[in-house]
Amino acid sequence: MLFWATLIGGLMTTAGTSVALGAALGLTGLIILHFFSNGATSLAVDAIWNVFNSFTLSAVPMFILLGEILLRSGISQKAYSAFSPIFRRVPGGLLHTNIAVCTLFGAVSGSSLSTAAAIGSVAYPEMTRRGYDKDTVVGSLAGGGTLGLLIPPSLSFLIFGALTETSIGRLFAAGIIPGLLVGFMFMAYLFVRCVRNPALAPTDNERTPFWEILAGFKQIWPLLALIIAVIGSIVGGWATPTEAAGVGVVLAVIISSIWGDLTFAKLLEAIKQSVLLFSAIGFLVLGATILAQSVSILGVPQQILIAVADSGLGTYSVLLIVVLIYLILGCFFDGLSLMIMTLPVVFPLLTGLGFDPIWVGVIITIVIEIGQVTPPVGLNLSVLTALTNNEVSLGRVAVATVPYWLIHLFAILMLTIFPALALFLPNLLF
């Protein structure tokens, strides 16, 4: 009881002083190590060295830089133009394009926030000019943006793999089918909604010849080739995540310079933003590593497993409780921070109950995706409100995204009933 009072009280006290979350986690971990482990705070240094010396974690800044370069290259406009004719005559029109292009950019940015911002800046002005319902537009962009965390290469999978020593290649493979499935369900929802209410999306009866569609894709074939090369080399086992990301950065610079509008100034800005983002993530990882070390030394995960066993709760009842806790905490923490903060307890708990580690990574990624579109902290909501110049309020964006996080919950249910949806490709390829 004293341990839990110290843990919760330490987190609340440090976080209440407005210090960074990484500092709050680290300070709490040091307090626990000092008072509950005979002053063994030096163990935190060893834990930090082991994590930051991990070859796997070194892939994170490279993938961040890869995404930042492509997001500044202007290729998002070309991708949007390439996909638009495909859905022109389908009920929902460009709303489906939003989901498709978000899926594509999820495969290069690895970030939900970056995907929503990049596609939203292109799509919102064009769609409002054509008379699309504004709430429906921002809802599709917020929902589609979440695919950036599930479609590989995903920052969520990279950090999850580094902190839990789980195969990045298997995690990437596991995210492909669920990511495409969620994207398809988003499109199905938009199709049904626009059939029932055609006023949400204007009808475009113009027929686009097949050769024009192919011509549009010629503009982005280098981007598609880059995605296939980077993800394929990792999933196929031909390169480590770090090696693939390094090659991807070089290719992204070449592609963005030739087919996009990348300049030296934009490249420097991409490097700067990558350093800032990884610094923020790295500081979180540092704090969470210290806390994880303190929790692990005291055997807290094992104690929780024993308590769960003694409580009589079933395996899936525990899973339901974990998901509900993530949904609640997602209202107050951004997704990656929440994952890093909770993994020291949640991962050993769920794997100890018999859940596959790769499957756990996919489920946790989906529940933190929901947090990206849950107010008041849902970052995708804030970004899209800003992109609309407050034409659509934060509250309206939040309401418009409710169907999308319900679809995410349904995806969790499907993955629970049919784990093979996530595990088929990893088991096939590895």
pLDDT band for position 56 (50/70/90)?
A: low
The band of 24, judged by pLDDT with boundaries at 50, 70 and 90, is confident
Evaluate whether 144 touches 389 at the Cβ level (below 8 Å): no
pLDDT value of residue 112: 66
pLDDT of residue 358: 94
Q: What is the pLDDT of residues 366-381, one digit of tens each?
A: 888 787 777 665 666 7
Compute the distance between CA of residue 421 and CA of residue 182 in angstroms, rounded to an integer.
12
193 vs 108: which has the higher pLDDT: 193
Average pLDDT for the chain: 78
Q: Which one-letter amino acid corresponds to residue 116?
A: A
pLDDT of residue 393: 77
Which letter, b or e, does each residue of 136-160 get, where b requires 16 or more Cβ atoms within 10 Å of its Cβ?
bbbbbbbbbbbbbbbbbbbbbbbbb
The residue count for the chain: 430
What is the average pLDDT across 256-280? 82
Examine residue 202 and say whether the peptide bond preceding it is cis (omega within 30 degrees of 0). Answer: no
pLDDT at position 264 is 85
pLDDT single digits (tens) 328-351: 777 766 677 778 778 878 888 888
Mean pLDDT along residues 12-37: 70
With a CB cutoff of 8 Å and minimum separation 6, the contacts of 292 are 29, 47, 163, 343, 344
Q: Which of 14-18, 52-56, 425-429 has the highest mean pLDDT?
A: 425-429
pLDDT grade, residue 412 (50/70/90)? Answer: very high
Residue-wise DSSP of 291-326: HHHHHHHTTHHHHHHHHHHHHT--HHHHHHHHHHHH
pLDDT in tens, 108-164: 666 666 677 777 777 788 788 878 888 888 888 888 877 777 787 777 888 888 888
Is 204 or 103 the better-scoring residue by pLDDT?
Answer: 103
Q: Is residue 416's pLDDT more than 90?
A: yes
pLDDT at 360: 92
Cβ atoms of residues 223 and 255 within 8 Å:
yes
Residue 147 exposure: Cα atoms within 13 Å on the Cβ side: 31
pLDDT score of 300 more than 70: no
The answer to whether residue 96 scores a pLDDT higher than 90 is no
Q: If pLDDT is split at 50, 70 and 90, which confidence band does 188 have?
A: very high
With 80 as the cut, is the pLDDT of residue 97 above it? yes
pLDDT value of position 93 = 81
pLDDT at residue 238 greater than cutoff 60: yes
pLDDT band of residue 362 (cuts 50, 70, 90) is very high
